[in-house]
Amino acid sequence: MKYALTCIVCPLGCVIEVEIKNGEIISVANYKCPRGKEWAIEEILSPVRPFMSVVRVIGGIFPVVSVKSTGPVPKENMKDLTKLLSNVVLQAPVPAGTVVLHNPMGLKVDIVTTRDA
Amino acid sequence: MIYDVVVIGGGPAGLAAAIKAHEEGGKVLILEQAEYLGGILQQCIHPGFGIHYLGEDLTGPEFASLFIEKVRSLNIPYILSAHVMKIEIMLPLAKKIQLIAPKGTKDIETKAIVYTAGAREKHGFEIGITGDRVSGIYTAGEAQSLMDLYGVMPGKRVLIVGSGDVGLIMARRLSLEGARVVGVVELMPYPGGLARNLVILRDFNIPLYLSHRVLEVHGRGRVERVKMARVNSKGKTIPGTERWIECDTLLISAGLVPDVRVLESLGIRIDPSTGGPVVNEFLETTAPGVFVAGNSLVINDLVDYAVEQGERAGMQAVRYAKNGGLPSMNWIPVEKGGNVRCVIPHYINGENEVILYLRARKPVKDATLVTGKKMHKIPVVTPAEMLRVKIKKEDITRPFKVEVSP
Ligand SMILES: Cc1cc2nc3c(=O)[nH]c(=O)nc-3n(C[C@H](O)[C@H](O)[C@H](O)COP(=O)(O)OP(=O)(O)OC[C@H]3O[C@@H](n4cnc5c(N)ncnc54)[C@H](O)[C@@H]3O)c2cc1C
Ligand code: SF4
């Protein structure tokens, strides 16, 4: 199986080709620098993404407050994390930077608020 | 009381302008029509803000709060829920701003104005979508505000018009929160967004319909289906390619236009290529003492540039107020050469270093950006990404032409 990935590490946007056999990478081609190669391998084996959502607040400035993960999370966990957060209800005041969930699903990140509520 | 500088619009550009004007010794007031400061950043809850300006990657609200806290700590006055209706120039150093606030209308006097009211979004009818008048049709910004300020989902099956970054970012938010994005429709033969946002389509298995246009909405009370068709290379619908897509929501992300409605009554010159005012290197419009920055000047993909423009406008507005005007110069027009769609500023004086912001018409690899007699090598130029270059005084020529060549 061959994948063609547009590298997003820098604006050059090399189209990197990664070949996989039995879940293992057998070749990486068309990258112009090592950072791109590293990114492509990670993107195939364990893609991670920045995570953001909103959480309900009672008595806040808005009915919800924005949150983010303190580090990228695996792509496959994003939807479950959103579901988990839909059950959380905060009570205002909640200053920005408050930890809403600590190490959810063992992902080794925290979910923190990004604006005052 | 007569202010030195009144800032209209409390988004990032306006806050940066107000802070700078205050630091330069001006008496400053901020007018904001929303109930909060920060502009659209409060609803842009994704990261990607401040990479150039701060060297740090923040979410929109986090980036905004740095400026809001600074405004508060410097005790710069601001009025919220203050919608500016009209500006009148009585004398070069006497400008009257008419606003509507919950308590009624009010006039405010100032010597200079920094106008940072942001942009407005294009609506469906502006891109030729016809059909039933039903609920379930939103602009991307309306949907973003519903979801990320008020926690309301706009719909369950969503078709998005426009593959620019705004449309893609909304595709991600909707998918994450459990909606099904049934497609992104793009008129052009290539996608509008940056590569890092195009990944979103792959992540959530969202089909991208390039060279397609949405024609018609059908529904009773609520959107039920939407008709789209292929277009040819001239953007004309190809007969026989029409088809219907089932969805309950249509999200229009057809681009932003500088919101200059309040400035129009001043009769300032507008540049059709940006939709914003014509400015000199001080970011002063053709109305002396009226400065403009951020998305009201030109659509900025990066908040960093909006802030940079705000700071410049704020500084120059104080100078205008303190000196009774800015000396008029022998302005050199910035001429647009090949493959340049728009460039800011429109006039420079050749006596200072200047920063140019420009956008190309077509994508180019291994491009050379020519500014006057200087050449800059740029690996990739795309219309999706605004270019920013600093030009040294000694590199300014008369005439001064800007060009992007392969
Ligand atoms: C969906 C989306 C995603 C983005 N993502 C990124 C990103 O990842 N990284 C990045 O760097 N940039 C991003 N940007 C761009 C960035 O947000 C903008 O460049 C920036 O917000 C522009 O700031 P501004 O101050 O010019 O306008 P705005 O933030 O729009 O502020 C304008 C303010 O003026 C007020 N106003 C308008 N009219 C009046 C009036 N008549 N009277 C009083 N007040 C008025 C408005 O209420 C508003 O508060 C994104 C933009 C959008 C739309
Ligand atoms: S491979 Fe290297 S040079 Fe190519 S886009 Fe990625 S980071 Fe840039």
Question: Are B65 and A96 in contact (CB < 8 Å)?
Answer: yes
Q: Element (H or E) spanning B105, and its range?
A: strand B104-115
Cα–Cα–Cα angle for B171, B57, A45, rounded to 5 degrees: 65
CB atoms B45 and A116 under 8 Å = no
Q: Which residue has the higher pLDDT, B125 or B74?
A: B74
The reply to whether A66 and A94 lie within a common domain is yes
Whether residue B328 is predicted with pLDDT greater than 80 in this model: the reply is no
CB contact under 8 Å between A66 and B199, yes or no, is no
Give the pLDDT mean for B340-345. 97
What range does the domain containing A69 cover?
52-113
Q: Which two tokens stand for residue B21?
A: 């004007």
A27 and A69 fall within a common domain: no
Query: Chain B, 29-48: which have a CB under 8 Å from a chain A CB?
Result: 36, 42, 45-47
Residues A24, A76 share a domain: no
Helix B303-323 × helix B12-23 angle, to 10°:
40
Residue whose structure tokens are 């407050």 = A65
Which atom in ligand 1 lies closest to the alpha carbon of residue B166? Answer: 1
Q: Record the tokens describing residue B137, joined without a space.
A: 């049709």
What's the mean pLDDT in B78-89? 97
Instruction: Write down the pLDDT at residue B363.
Output: 87
Give chain B's domains with CATH numbers: 2-120+257-327 (3.50.50.60), 123-254 (3.50.50.60), 335-406 (no CATH)
A10 alpha carbon, closest ligand: 2
Please tell me which residue of chain B has the smallest CA distance to A96: B62
Positive or negative: CA dihedral B221, B222, B227, B231: positive
Q: pLDDT value at position A87?
A: 94
Neighboring chain B residues of A49 at a CB cutoff of 8 Å:
203
pLDDT at B329 over 80: no
Based on the fold, state whether residues A39 and A82 are members of the same structural domain. Answer: no
C-alpha B14 to ligand 1 mean position (Å): 10
Average pLDDT, stretch B157-186? 96
pLDDT above 80: residue B373 = yes
pLDDT in the model for residue A13: 84
Question: CA-CA distance, B404 to B100, in Å (whole number)?
Answer: 45
B81 contacts in chain A (CB < 8 Å)? none
Exposure of B133 by Cβ count < 10 A (0-12 exposed, 13-18 middle, 19+ buried)? exposed
- Residues A93, A68 share a domain: yes
Assess whether A30 and A57 both reside in one domain.
no
Q: Kindly state whether residues A38 and A73 are assigned to the same domain.
A: no
Same domain, A40 and A57: no
Under the banding of pLDDT at 50, 70 and 90, the label for residue B144 is very high
Chain B contact present for A29, CB below 8 A: no
A107 and A61 in a single domain? The answer is: yes
Q: Is B199 on the interface with A (CB under 8 A)?
A: yes
Mean local confidence (pLDDT), B107-117: 98
Question: Do A101 and A62 sit in the same domain of this protein?
Answer: yes
Q: What is the ipTM of this complex?
A: 0.90
Rounded Cα distance between B334 and B400, Å, is 6
Residue A12 distance to chain B (closest CA, Å): 6
What 8-state DSSP symbol labels residue B398? S
The reported pLDDT for the residue numbered B285 is: 97
Q: A42-77, pLDDT tens digit by residue?
A: 999 899 999 999 999 999 999 999 999 999 999 999
Tell me the pTM: 0.94
Report the atom number in ligand 2 closest to the C-alpha of A31: 1
Through-space distance between the first and last CA atoms of chain B, rounded to whole angstroms? 55
Is the peptide bond between B47 and the residue preceding it cis, with omega within 30 degrees of 0? no
pLDDT band at B194 (very low <50, low <70, confident <90, very high): confident
Question: B195: which chain A residues are within 8 Å (Cβ-Cβ)?
Answer: 6-8, 13
Verify that A68 and A103 share a domain, yes or no. Answer: yes
Q: Which residues is B124 bridged to in the sheet?
A: none
DSSP string, A50-89: --EEEEEEESSSSSEEEEEESS-EEGGGHHHHHHHHTT-E
- Residues B262 and B249: their CA atoms lie apart, in Å, by 32
Given B45, B198, B379, which is nearest A114 (Cβ)?
Answer: B45
Question: Region B60-89: what's the mean pLDDT?
Answer: 97
State the amino acid at position B105 in one-letter form: T
Alpha carbon distance, N-terminus to C-terminus of chain A: 48
Ligand 1 proximity of B114 Cβ (cutoff 6 Å): no
Q: Does A33 share its domain with A63?
A: no
Residue B257 pLDDT > 80? yes
Question: pLDDT at position A24, please?
Answer: 87
Residue A82 to residue B62, Cβ atoms within 8 A: no
Rounded to 5 degrees, what are φ and ψ at B215? -105, -40
pLDDT at position B384 is: 84
Q: Give the residue-averaged pLDDT of B362-383.
A: 90
* Cα diameter, chain B: 66
Determine whether the interchain pair B178/A66 forms a contact, defined as Cβ–Cβ distance below 8 Å: no
- Contact B57/B87 with Cβ under 8 angstroms? no
Distance CA B224, CA B132 (A): 10
Rounded Cα gap, residues B394 and A70, in angstroms: 46
Q: How confident is the model at residue B382, as a pLDDT?
A: 87
CB contact under 8 A, B47 and A68: yes
Distance CA B253, CA B139 (A): 6
Confidence band, pLDDT 50/70/90 cuts, at residue B327? confident
Q: What three-state secondary structure class fits B306?
A: helix
The rounded distance, in Å, linking the Cα atoms of B298 and B306 is 9
Looking at residues B12-29, what average pLDDT do you find? 98
β pairing state of B104-115 and A15-21: unpaired
pLDDT tens track for B269-287? 999 999 999 999 999 999 9
Interface of A with B in 49-88 (CB under 8 A): 49-50, 52-54, 56, 61-64, 66-68, 75, 78-79, 82
Interface test with B, best of A9, A52, A73, A89 (most B CBs within 10 A): A52
CA distance B8 to B68: 15
Tell me how many domains chain A contains. 2
CA B307 to chain centre: 12
B40 C-alpha vs ligand 1 centroid, how far in Å?
4
| Residue % of chain B over a pLDDT of 90 | 87
A82 Cα to chain B: minimum distance (Å): 7
